[in-house]
Amino acid sequence: MKPKILVVLSPHRRSELLRILEGKNLQIYFASDFREAQEKLQGHSRYDLLLSDEQLPDGSWRDLLQFLLESKTPCEMIVCSRCGDEQLWAEVLQCGAYDLLVEPFERQEVDRIIQSAIENQYMRRFSHSLAAS
């Protein structure tokens, strides 16, 4: 089964990232803002990974992460920024997101982080299913 990724990025960042993700064995879905992402995450589809802009038209990555944590939605989150620094990276990790991707996106770095986040999500689901058995 192909991993499902929900992408909540500005059109420019989205197209840049899609060039890197083209040809990968992924199902990619889009949301334009916090509200649409929230609706999709509450729907019937289960996503393995969420890629979010640092700032959204109607919120921020923190709002989206808080929603994920409060709703106990099993999904890893990666924050994308055009000017990340060590302080933002530390904040992203401390708040519970998986990692930070900074522009310009480098193919190997994007591949490594996304693959690692998806594997982490699968391991988390596997351990939850074992615990429930």
CATH number belonging to domain 4-132: 3.40.50.2300
Mean pLDDT of 66-72: 92
pLDDT digits (tens, 9 = 90+) for 10-20: 988 899 999 99
Q: Where are the domains of the chain?
A: 4-132
Helices (H), the chain: 11-21, 34-42, 61-71, 86-95, 107-132
Give the integer Cα–Cα distance in Å for 95 and 105.
23
Nearest to 81 by CA among 51, 121, 54: 54
pLDDT digits (tens, 9 = 90+) for 83-116: 878 999 999 999 999 999 999 999 999 999 999 9
* pTM of full prediction above 0.95: no
Mean pLDDT of 70-89: 91
